[in-house]
Amino acid sequence: MTAQRTTRDRTWLLAVPGVGFLFAAYAVPLALLLLVSFKFPETFTLSAYQHFFADSYNWHVIWNTVRAALLTTGFCLLLGYPAAFALAWSRGAVQILFLICLILPLSVGIVVKAFAWTIVLRTDGVLNQALVGLGILGQPMRLIFTEAGLIFGAVNVFIPFMILPIYSVVRLMDSRLVEAAQTMGATPLYVFRRVVLPLTLPGVIAGIAFVFSMSLAMYVVPTLLVGERYMTLSRQIARSYLYLRDEQLGSTVAVVLLVFSLAVIVSSQWLAGRTRGAP
Amino acid sequence: MTRTQILTRGAVWIIGFAVCVYLMLPLFVTVAVSFSESSVFNLPPPSWSTRWYEALATKRGLLPALGLSVQIALLSTAISLVLGTLAAIAVVRGRFPGRDALSTFVVSPLMMPGLVVGIALLQFLRGMGMRDAYTGLLIGHVIVTLPFVMRTVQASLSLFDFTLLDAARTLGLTYPRALLKVMVPVLSPAYITSGLFAFLASMDNYPISIFLTDARNKTLPIQMLEYLEVRPDPTIAAVSSCLILLTILVLLFTERLIGLRRLTDF
Amino acid sequence: MVNTAIDTPYLVADGVSKRFGDTVVLDLLTIGVGRGEFVSLLGPSGCGKTTLLRLVAGLLKSDSGRIELGGRVISDLPPHRRNVGVVFQNYALFPHLNVFENIAFGLRARGAAESQVAETVSRFLALVKLSDYADRPATTLSGGQQQRVAVARALATHPDILLLDEPFSALDRQLREGMQIELRALLRELGITAIFVTHDQEEALVMSDRIAVMHKGAIEQFDTPQAIHGSPSSRFVLDFMGSSVTMEGKVTGTADGLCMVETADGFLRVSGGFIRGADVVVATRPEHIRLVAEPANRPDANTLEVSLTDHIFFGARTVAHLKTRSGGKLKADVAAGDIAAARAQDRLYAEWRVDETMVFPAETGR
């Protein structure tokens, strides 16, 4: 009896180093940042926020950020969902190649990857050369420094984080469930809607949470692919701190972005809890 | 199989293949550019040469940046593996309230804007009088790598048979030694997986690092972006190509060791 | 192959073949099942019984041959148009739906009106005695309960035939016996035709109207349980159904419709039309062998001298292990008290009736 109690007591202590570290180095600084944005310790006011939200330019920036994140997540989902199935269906050497294609790009480094995309998307770059050469386009299309180019590059960076969570759920799905549904008279569309989709939903939610939060906060990809024309919250933060030396503005925007990220985390946890009925 | 099934299957395979090509495209571009003769980034290159590889050793600041990045990545990954394992045990075995919240907390840095975390940490450290860039970078990178370790190890641990530890203890091992001798080997695939992802995440991290570096301590991504802004030339492509090659070797080694499929349990 | 055929079979598989890569799993197999009949496909793993089931269900497509159900040719139809019901080995209940929704799935997939769905599902819930569990998530039920949900789910769409793939293999013995009886009663009440795949010969004997014993992709014997157990048509069927004892010998002559077979331990009488000199295997079952002190020396009995080497107590019966003079091994089912009596004898004989003796050609391979 005593031994059991000791073991139980000891367990939560194990988390103390890790959680303590994160608390001190991550949670506390963020909380302080929040306080600074309220102009603490001099006063406690929301004036910085009032200022921020009064400026329509900032709403424009917020909309850019959210829009880019939505588009990136949407395309990642559209392409990543079938790709996850292709990965699950592949065997042997094909599957190994597939996995290499997913993981190897992580080693290139986001800077070089984004830069490689600038080379590809340039007006005289490979993509335009191919499109014009194949006769799809009459003349080269402007992709660099456009939103389309940004989404192109962002999806390229983040799609593995959509594919892998969905794949891990697809892999666990019992194929007999699809067979059972078929034998009961369900058409392929009905099977997809009522069996496959609900069962893969946890993976989809995880993938969306990852990609949306990461693309909301992305900095390097927009910097290299769209530059000044397309201002996002991250770029605004960096600009405030590194160039404008306006720490007040920087911390305000930072908190706005933080709130968005927290909202994504909380809602994805809530959704995940609701769909947990499907093991 | 019905026609619908055949069409669906075909579409899935085509999309899968297209995504693979799409993912590998930047890699091919990088390697191709690294062998280009000219310093202008034209593809296809007018002529081929290996001069950028030869210039790697002499490029100002490149090797120190690479060295620093590797050091920080290795150290932060190692620290995260220890902290993460302990925390994962607590979450999987513990019976205290708020276990799920704790798990979410430890994984949350993955989904937070790195820029914001970096700024917050910088201001905090400065406020506390800590101006050492190396330590600051290390702290920041542990924050980056810990979520990867936590997620993977927690998932693996929930499948671990804890009676193995009980058996080891009845055979004479203390609890810490039992962990080391019994649990760590069983978890090694999870360590390899999370270690790889954590290492790559640290090597590649920009948002947190940009605020914590100083003139003498620059990590590789910071250095590379600087090159691009000041005077871009294919040397950076050469560096990346070397890193790509290294990662291919690591991946093939991993496939031999535990099978690449394990990596998807991240 | 002994095969009792039905006049107008409800389900027909005619000349069906299936191969996976280089392995031929089913080889021109033909079988007919009557309406309302309960047929078991019985055999060891790898004999093709599950493949045949999946072909009928439409989950596999045959390389050749034709499948008809109720007069319709269904061989080219996908599973959702065949109107078959399938009960899977691991139940395959939808984890994201509760019990009611699982049973309702097929009806809703076919576009039935909700009122009709509710009525049908309630009826089947009552039939499998799970009315109180309608709202529970399907996977929180016990194994036996999940099995009943799986059966209800398959039957709710009024399939033309019910296909069951070793549905009780994961249940413990007592539960299994209860489910066997329940299922049989339910199917009889509804008049449903069923094909039941199993590797458990006792289960097949208990449940079936007819059993198809399968071996390496072909049907060895397709007959009533009594016929298969009492008159196995081949060595394989004999070995697979119940326990048996065998002796090898050569036919030396015929007399009065019986053959005389010379074995290493003496002469045995069998009924059969073998030619002189043929190598045969003589067999009987332990439950037919009695231990006696004096040989009966009657023309309708076979007797061999034996010695008692061991006995094993099984509760309901005791099995005596015997050895013949030449070292051959026999087994006999005896009452516990017979062992002591047998030990007291100087000489011991194993005796059984000629009409309980089976004989097969000695074959290699198979």
In a domain, A18, yes or no: no
pLDDT at residue C145, as a whole number: 92
Measured between alpha carbons, how far is A57 from A70 in angstroms, rounded to an integer?
20
Classify residue A22: in a domain, yes or no. Answer: no
Q: CA–CA separation, A223 vs A232, rounded Å?
A: 9
Is A4 inside any structural domain? no
* Chain A residues touching C78 at Cβ < 8 A: 182
CATH of the domain at A241: 1.10.3720.10
Question: Which pLDDT belongs to residue B55?
Answer: 78
Q: Which residue has the tokens 């049908």?
A: C120
Averaged pLDDT of chain A: 85
A54 in the Ramachandran plot: left (φ > 0), alpha (ψ -120 to 50) or beta? alpha
Residue C366: predicted pLDDT: 41
Residue with tokens 């030339």: B233
What pLDDT, on the 0 to 100 scale, is given for residue A3? 46
pLDDT at A223 over 60: yes
A1 inside domain: no
Determine the pLDDT at residue B1.
55
pLDDT of residue B227: 84
Q: Do C92 and A177 touch (CB under 8 A)?
A: yes
3-state secondary structure of C151: helix
Please give the tally of structural domains in chain A.
Answer: 1
Residue B20 pLDDT: 95
Query: What pLDDT, in 10s, does the model give residues A77-128?
Result: 999 999 999 999 998 889 989 989 998 898 888 888 888 888 888 767 777 7
Chains touching C by CB (3 or more pairs below 8 Å): A, B
Question: For tokens 């456009």, what's the residue?
Answer: A146
Contact A214, A158 (CB under 8 A): yes
Q: With CB atoms and an 8 Å threshold, state whether C61 touches B1.
A: yes
Q: What is the mean pLDDT of residues A194-209?
A: 92
Q: Which of A183, A187, A191 to mutate to test the interface with C (most CBs of C within 10 A)?
A: A183
Q: Are C196 and C52 in contact (CB under 8 A)?
A: no
Q: Does B3 touch chain C (CB under 8 A)?
A: no
What is the per-residue pLDDT for C2? 39
From chain A, pick out residues whose CB is under 8 angstroms from the CB of C58.
Answer: 182-183
CB burial of residue C298 (10 Å; 0-12, 13-18, 19+)? exposed
Residues (pLDDT < 50) of chain C are 1-2, 365-366
Chain B residues whose CB is inside 8 A of the C78 CB are: 1-2, 5
Query: C83 vs chain B: nearest CA distance in angstroms?
Result: 16
The pTM score is: 0.83
Q: Which tokens go with B57?
A: 């050793």
A165 located within any domain: yes
Taking an 8 Å cut-off on Cβ atoms, the answer to whether A26 and B13 are in contact is no
**Does any CB of chain B come closer than 8 Å to the CB of residue A98?**
yes
Q: Which residues of chain A does B260 touch, with a Cβ-Cβ cutoff of 8 Å?
A: 95-96, 99-100, 103
Chain A, 244-263: which have a CB under 8 Å from a chain B CB?
250-251, 254-255, 257-258, 261
Q: Rounded to 5, what percent of chain A is helix, strand, coil?
A: 80, 0, 20
Q: How far apart are CA C157 and CA C26, in angstroms?
A: 29
Question: Chain A contacts of C105, Cβ < 8 Å?
Answer: 181, 184, 186, 194
Give the domains, in start order, of chain B with CATH numbers: 62-217 (1.10.3720.10)
* C119 residue type, one letter: E
Q: Mark which residues 131-190 of A lie under 8 Å from B by CB.
A: 156, 159-160, 163-164, 167-168, 171, 188-189
The residue written with tokens 């690449």 in the block is B260
Instruction: Kindly state whether residue A6 falls inside one of the protein's structural domains.
Output: no
Q: List pLDDT tens digits, range B101-121.
A: 888 898 889 888 988 999 899
What was the pLDDT predicted at A277? 47
Range(s) of the domain holding residue A72: 45-277
In a domain, residue A29? The reply is: no
Q: How far apart are alpha carbons C153 and A185 in whole angstroms?
A: 12
Residue numbers in A near C111 (CB within 8 A): none
Q: Name the residue in chain C with its Cα closest to that of A279.
A: C95
Pairing status of strand C348-353 against strand C290-292: antiparallel
Chain A residues with CB-CB distance to C86 below 8 A: 179-180, 183
pLDDT of residue A269: 84
Whether the CB-CB separation of A163 and A79 falls below 8 Å is answered with: no
Cβ of residue C61 closer than 8 Å to a chain B Cβ? yes
pLDDT at A42: 67
SS3 content of chain B, % helix, strand, coil (to 5): 80, 0, 20
Tokens found for residue C303: 């007797």
Nearest CA in chain A to C109: A186
Percent of chain A with pLDDT over 90: 32
Question: Which residues of chain B fall below pLDDT 50?
Answer: none
By a Cβ cutoff of 8 Å, what residues of chain A touch chain C?
174, 176-177, 179-188, 190, 194-195, 198-199, 275, 277-279
Instruction: Output the pLDDT for position A6.
Output: 47
Q: Do A257 and B116 touch (CB under 8 A)?
A: yes
pLDDT band with cut points at 50, 70 and 90 for residue A28: very high
Distance CA(C167)–CA(C263), nearest Å, equals 44
